[in-house]
Amino acid sequence: MICPIPFNESLVTRQNPNINDMTGYLKYNYLSSDYMLIAMWARCFFILRAIFNYNLFSDLYSKKLCKSYGFTANVRFAFKCLMKSDPGITVAGTLGASVGFFAFVLRVFELPYYDALGQVNFRSFFDAIWCVIITMTTVGYGDEYPATTGGQWVIIVTSLWGTFLISLLILSVADIFALDINE
């Protein structure tokens, strides 16, 4: 759907405060394909949409049954049904996909800056995964942190989304351990 044009790279120069001495600004470069690479992740939205639109809870019978009770069988209804029928796999899948996505985007934003500094932060993908998980769980050790504006925006969205996912995790665990009427 969206892909970079081969051999048509342009440099985008940014500058941020130098975190080593805090006296000046450090210039670093992105390639235009870096931004296109992040935009290409939008294709995953269509995969998720297909999963939710063509599952057991959104087929024609479900839509007819939902319409008779006065609501629609949409993505939110399918997600609720998946949470009710199999909360562990739903939360684990959503959490794993979110960590992978946010870590990748964070690494794309942060790697040129830390390369210009000569530091090894965000050199490996695991460093970005570590930063995203620590942010999602709101622990925040401070050993890995974003220094660029794009990385900071990614971390803001990650923390908000992580709060939602951790609350879903707590709800699904509470639902698993809840006593039913027979117990």
Q: pLDDT of 118-138, one tens digit each?
A: 888 888 899 999 999 999 988
Per the CB < 8 A criterion, the answer to whether 7 and 20 are in contact is no
Total residue count of the chain as it appears in this document: 183
Angle, alpha carbons 83-168-130 (nearest 5°): 120
Task: Determine the residue type at 11.
Answer: L
Per the CB < 8 A criterion, the answer to whether 133 and 165 are in contact is no
Residue spans of alpha helices (H) in 70-148: 75-85, 87-117, 125-136
Q: pLDDT of 25-45, one tens digit each?
A: 888 888 887 888 888 877 777
CA-to-CA distance for 12 and 29, rounded, in angstroms?
A: 6
Mean pLDDT across the chain: 84
